[in-house]
Amino acid sequence: MKKLSIVLCSALALNFAFASSLADDAKNLGLMPLPKSEKNLKKLIEDSSPDAQAFPTTKERVELGKMLYFDPRLSKSGIVSCNTCHNLGYGGADNIPASTGHKWTPNPHHVNAPTVYNSVFNSVQFWDGRAAHLAEQAAGPMTAMPEMASTPERVEKVINSIPEYVELFGKAFDLKKDEPVNFDLVTTAIGVFERTLVTPTRFDDFLNGDKNALTKDEQDGLKLFLEKGCTTCHNGVNLGGNMQAFGVVAKYKFANVGDFTGDKNGMVKTPVLRNVLLTQPYFHNGAIWDIEDAIKEMGSIQLGIQISDEEAASIATFFESLNGKMPEIIYPVLPASTKNTPKPELDY
């Protein structure tokens, strides 16, 4: 019995050492956890928001931004909202290959909507990295014809025609009496709300010192993820969200689906792996539905290696630890339109 106890204690000590070493290895290869303390997490969010110095996060701005995020009147048709393509009840994306907007128009470049969850930690926004922060990103879909099809002028008319919105903006941004709300403040409020869409995970707990946060199979998958070189692109707090070369070793087998080729240098924003099991289909054009197929394709085109079915399944098991705790979002009651609010234009 004494010998058995010694053996069990030795095995537990070995597992503990392995977990400790694995967490250190992950951090040494560029993976970063969300902070444990709420204070430090809030600081990271503000530090990750280029516009936070000018517009710090406040409760009033967050609540206002949430209303705007769900308000379809910001679109030309009065049907499409930010939540249409970045559904907060559905992984923060729309889970279709190419986003569909005004007049049921699919994205002309066959581009897949990335998740909005944890997007505050991306170094850039959009697949081609053309926006520096969330407020700048919010302006794009709102004024894109295949998406919300609106204009800054129309959005301003909608907001300024609704007294409750005018009052909320005045309080949130300290506007002078009778000072109209401009388009930039609308996108800023949406961006401030999106900063709060953060989903802590068991993986964060593991990197923060909880050796039992991941199962043995998840730890094995993480070890493979590190050994295969996946952190070359999938690193940082978001395990992605930065600009990287795409198709480094071989051509993506669905490169002909859509015409997206990245920025002017052919760089593409690396997909975020937080909640990745909730955001299929995968890749910029949503051409692969199975996560294990996506893992094998990435090994081939980015690392020049063959990842077996068993290895892909193991890495996918690790991804289960990246499913985060979703923030509670209570659907807002939107203020009523007035006779001066622009009418929907459906363009039938």
Residues tagged in the binding site annotation for heme c:
82, 85-86, 102, 230, 233-234, 298
Q: Of 38, 60, 136, 147, which residue is the catalytic one?
A: 147
CA separation for the pair 130, 109 (Å, rounded) = 15
CA separation for the pair 74, 67 (Å, rounded) = 11
Rg (C-alpha) for the chain, rounded Å, is 22
Name residue 28's amino acid: N
Burial 76-103 (b: 16+ CB within 10 A, else e): bbbbbbbbbbbbbeebbbbbebbbbbbe
Q: What is the DSSP string of 37-52?
A: SHHHHHHHHHHT-TTT
Residue 211's Cβ-side half-sphere holds a number of Cα atoms within 13 Å equal to: 12
Residues marked as binding?
A: 82, 85-86, 102, 230, 233-234, 298
156 is catalytic: no
- Phi/psi of residue 67, nearest 5 degrees: -60, -45
Enumerate the active-site residues.
147
